[in-house]
Amino acid sequence: MALDNVVSPEWLHEHLEDVQVVIVDCRFALSAPQQGQEQYQAGHIPGAYYLDLNEDLSSPVQTHGGRHPLPKISQLGAKLSQMGITPDTLVVAYDDSRQAFAARLWWLLRYLGHTSVAILDGGFAAYQAHYPVTTDMPAVRSGEFQGTAIPGQIVDIQAVKTYKDQPDVVVVDSRAYERYIGNHEPIDPVAGHIPGAVNYPWQAVTNEQGFLLTPSELQAHYADLNRADEVIVYCGSGVTACVNLLALEITGIKGGKLYAGSWSDWCSYTLDDNMEAQVQ
């Protein structure tokens, strides 16, 4: 069954030959950047193209802006056009990391005005458990991706500083609780969280097999956010925050904004300017 923002392995298998469906493999490993590409080459869902988090879904790292700055629209658009994506295309993204990287593509497409996009529930493992995969590479296609950034979908550090203390704004930290409280920081040079942020770990919206919780379970999970007029979501580098944004959309809490630079951007100013960080 095809649902808003989510498709099942069964639905995808039944639509492999649909020319209006384009599948994108987003597998990636932060600790081994070549792993996703290698996994794709070793076997992927038939017809799937591959997009790399570092090379395709991000732009080069600068002094500020976080570890995974948003990609240049023109470059990503060219890639998407070569996959045959047009305004009428349904894009289905998958990974093997509980939607960590598939959700990044889901969010990017919506940010660029392409709302016909879904993630594969359960990811690659759920599909492979029931259906064959392939090593055949899909042909380059001729498409015409038309993407224009929609204003108001992202915020920068100045906006976070301005709005984080307003009573009708909730800032959501999507990282694991131990990173949020500052007990464990394996990546960034500063531990802790943005003052006032509340913690909703991104992995909490899926089970261990990578299937999303039901809409009613998600509604209960996010119940305290219903009071907010605005929700700003961040993580370490603007990637896994997109899993929370996906789940919020499914729940019906729409309009969540991404602090694209996230904690790694906040840290860069903390180091330079002694900006406030909070540890509990």
Q: Is 267 a catalytic residue?
A: no
- HEC string for the chain: CEECCEECHHHHHHCCCCCCEEEEECCCCCCCCCHHHHHHHHCECCCCEECCCCCCCCCCCCCCCCCCCCCCHHHHHHHHHHCCCCCCCEEEEECCCCCCCHHHHHHHHHHCCCCCEEEECCHHHHHHCCCCCECCCCCCCCCCCCCCCCCCCEECHHHHHHHCCCCCEEEEECCCHHHHCCCCCCCCCCCCECCCCEECCHHHHECCCCCECCHHHHHHHCHHHHHCCEEEEECCCCCCHHHHHHHHHHHCCCCCEEECCHHHHHHHHHHHHCCCCECC
Task: Write down the catalytic residue from 26, 235, 242, 267.
Answer: 235
Q: What residues are labeled active site?
A: 235
